[in-house]
């Protein structure tokens, strides 16, 4: 971008937009067209997240720069240079989408790929989350993948506002942006601190993001994330198990007990929750209760017969002492 004066770049984009709107080809920008009749509810017509910081990219490193932009907006203090060793592939001179999703977890942040549409992008911005997108800036059959961060839009003016490359405030028409974004199948992600759930998250789509986050998170960060998930979707089986395990890991046995009990109330046949509850009770010295719970687990047909048998044997051993 450095060789291109901004004014000229903008002018040709406007030209392209004009050409498109004249031909009126809905198949080129289906989502921009769809917005005309179906604006996402609760989203204002113009937003700009002015406080989102800017890190100009150095050679080939739009990935680390865009990632640093979103991560700092989510509260981490990290520079693009720190992220190079975490997402950059020297041989390919770029960064993979999956690694862009993985890296924020190493800094205590939750990353999530949002649904591939304008309406999700706009509502994430309305919720205050800048959106990291993958664009293809190439022409014709040539591909030129590029990461940038959408920080705002003005629908009346028809503009999308980005932090991109060396450009702190790049303004692009909705149509042109869609053309560049569409070739990545509308790939976009948000980064949030644990406890903040993205605007478009659903139980099923957000769960894998938290499971991935849980793998490397500190006990406290994981606990915060699962607590938020459970207050949004109470009684969820795997989330209850995960939070129970984190509390157990912190030796908060009564906390783990109450979370597991709440989960079991919704899912009475969950072998894994019954098993873990039995263990938690046994470690509090409540062996009789524990035995009752593990018997319930043993009565369930499930994948954890071996684990349940081990837990049961352990409880009986405690009782024999």
Partner 1 sequence: MKSVTMKMLCRFLIPAMLTLSLQTASAGIIATDQAAAVANAQPDRTLVLAALERNDIRDQLQAQGVDPADARARVAAMSDLEVRTLAGTIGTAPVGADATFLALVAAGVLVWYVFYRK
> Which of positions 58-97 make contact with partner 1 (CB under 8 A)?
59-63, 66, 85-87, 89-97
First to last CA, the chain: 74
Give the residue, chosen from 152, 158, 165, 263, that forms a contact with partner 1 under the rule CB under 8 A.
165
What phi and psi values does residue 48 have, to the nearest 5 degrees? -140, 125
Give the residue, chosen from 73, 199, 221, 282, that forms a contact with partner 1 under the rule CB under 8 A.
282
Would you call 171 helix, strand, or coil by DSSP? strand
266 contacts partner 1 (rule: CB under 8 A): no
| Binding-site size, partner 1 (CB under 8 A) | 73
231 contacts partner 1 (rule: CB under 8 A): no
Beta 131-136 vs 145-154: how paired, if at all?
antiparallel
192 contacts partner 1 (rule: CB under 8 A): no
Give the residue, chosen from 129, 146, 163, 296, that forms a contact with partner 1 under the rule CB under 8 A.
146
- The secondary structure of 184-217 as a DSSP string is TTS-EEEEE-TTPPPTT--HHHHHHHHHHHHHH-
Residues 104-133 that bind partner 1 (CB under 8 A): 105-106
Nearest residue (CB) to partner 1, 40 versus 255: 255
Widest distance between CA atoms in the chain? 85
Distance CA 288, CA 105 (A): 41
Give the residue, chosen from 48, 250, 289, 307, that forms a contact with partner 1 under the rule CB under 8 A.
307
Residues 234-253 that bind partner 1 (CB under 8 A): 237-238, 241-242, 245, 248-249
184 contacts partner 1 (rule: CB under 8 A): yes
Residue owning tokens 């948000």: 190
């Amino acid at each position: 971008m450095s060789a291109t004066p901004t004014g000229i770049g903008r002018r040709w984009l406007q030209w392209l937009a004009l050409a498109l709107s004249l031909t009126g080809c809905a198949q080129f920008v289906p989502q921009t067209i769809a917005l005309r009749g179906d604006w996402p509810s609760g989203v204002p017509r113009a937003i700009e997240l002015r406080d989102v910081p800017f890190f100009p990219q150095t050679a080939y490193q739009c990935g680390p720069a865009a990632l640093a932009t979103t991560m700092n907006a989510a509260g981490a203090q990290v520079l693009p240079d720190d992220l190079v060793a975490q997402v950059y592939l020297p041989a390919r001179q770029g960064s993979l989408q999956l690694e862009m999703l993985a890296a924020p977890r190493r800094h205590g942040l939750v990353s999530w790929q949002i649904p591939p549409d304008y309406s999700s992008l706009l509502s994430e911005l309305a919720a205050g989350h800048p959106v990291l997108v993958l664009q293809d800036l190439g022409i014709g059959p040539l591909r030129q993948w590029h990461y940038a961060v959408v920080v705002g839009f003005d629908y009346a003016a028809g503009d999308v506002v980005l932090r991109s490359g060396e450009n702190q405030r790049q303004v692009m028409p909705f149509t042109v942006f869609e053309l560049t974004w569409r070739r990545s199948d509308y790939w976009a992600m948000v980064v949030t601190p644990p406890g903040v759930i993205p605007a478009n998250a659903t139980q099923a789509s957000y769960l894998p993001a938290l499971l991935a986050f849980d793998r490397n998170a500190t006990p406290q960060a994981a606990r915060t994330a699962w607590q938020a998930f459970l207050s949004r979707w109470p009684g969820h089986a795997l989330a209850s198990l995960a939070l129970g395990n984190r509390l157990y890991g912190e030796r908060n046995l009564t906390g783990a007990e109450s979370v597991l009990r709440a989960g079991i109330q919704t899912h009475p046949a969950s072998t894994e929750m019954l098993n873990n509850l039995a263990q938690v009770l046994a470690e509090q010295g409540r062996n009789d209760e524990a035995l009752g719970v593990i018997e319930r687990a043993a009565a369930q047909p499930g994948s954890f017969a071996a684990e349940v048998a081990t837990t049961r044997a352990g409880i009986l051993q405690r009782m024999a002492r």
